Amino acid sequence: MSLLKSFCMAFSMYSKIPMPRTEWKEENMRYVLCFFPWIGLVIGAAMYALWLVRARIGVFIPFEVFALVGTVLPVILTGGIHLDGFLDTMDALHSYQSREKKLEILKDPHIGAFASISLACEMFLYAAALFFLLEEKQMLMLGIGFFLSRTLSAFALVTVKSAKKDGLLYTFAGAAHKRTVLAVLSVWLFFAVAAAYLLYGLLGAICIMLSLIVFFYYEWMACRQFGGLTGDLAGWFVTVYELVFVWMVGIMGYVWNW
């Protein structure tokens, strides 16, 4: 029963998908991070369905519609929770202030100029990358990216120290049954690599290995700039990782066909 409650909590916290109301108790939070990557599967399925509507329906739909709707669809499904963290983090990073001041900026509900600029750049770059996704296999690979971004984010949450002793991230990381969560996340990572290999062979596996550069940079940046992880930094990672991944999938489609 606690697994079902953890599942509901994961989706109610990190997505806008309606879920039964669940009591916020420590025993219900133990395995929330195990189900966090499943939200990525739902987003990937939604993006794949959107692509199929454009590619298979009898009525002509411009590719621009797919690219623009596909850019905002993940934001709609998540409620913008990760994008919000991305914006706060960009403001903090570009403040060039002390570690303590950067952590204060993360708490500020307002956004600054650098957050606005970063939002525009992220949206335009993501939409541009979607124009490269011409094949069905690329959309399946993109779904793996949504799954991986959350798998790696959860992995960091239970292995890297928190920068603060409060907040949702600290609560979830502290309540997690770490040994079980790490074992499950390792299985998810294995399945993701295997799926990429089935789609694109060694090239698919290499794509995922290269994407881990973003993950290791995230851990290094979080510890160096902020003294550990926060919920906003986790949102920054999910956003940046998925932006990098969609470009890798787009480029990989061309390399595969050479």
Per-residue model confidence (pLDDT) at position 119: 95
DSSP state, residue 221:
H
Over residues 92-111, mean pLDDT: 87
Share of the chain above pLDDT 90, in %: 53
Question: What pLDDT score was predicted for residue 167?
Answer: 57
Of 57 and 231, more confident: 231
Q: Angle formed by the axes of helices 178-200 and 202-221, to 10°? A: 140
Q: What is the mean pLDDT of the chain?
A: 87
Q: What is the pLDDT of residue 170?
A: 53
Q: Tell whether the model's pLDDT for residue 17 goes beyond 60.
A: yes
Q: What is the pLDDT of residues 172-189, one digit of tens each?
A: 555 556 788 899 999 999
> Which sequence spans correspond to the domains of the chain?
2-257
pTM: 0.92
Question: Residue 174 has what pLDDT?
Answer: 55
Alpha helices in the chain (DSSP H): 2-14, 26-29, 32-56, 63-78, 81-93, 99-107, 113-130, 136-159, 168-175, 178-200, 202-221, 231-257
Q: If you compute the radius of gyration of the chain from its CA atoms, what whole number of angstroms results?
A: 18
Query: What sign results for the dihedral spanned by CA atoms 49, 60, 78, 193?
Result: positive
Phi, psi for 83 (deg, rounded to 5)? -65, -35
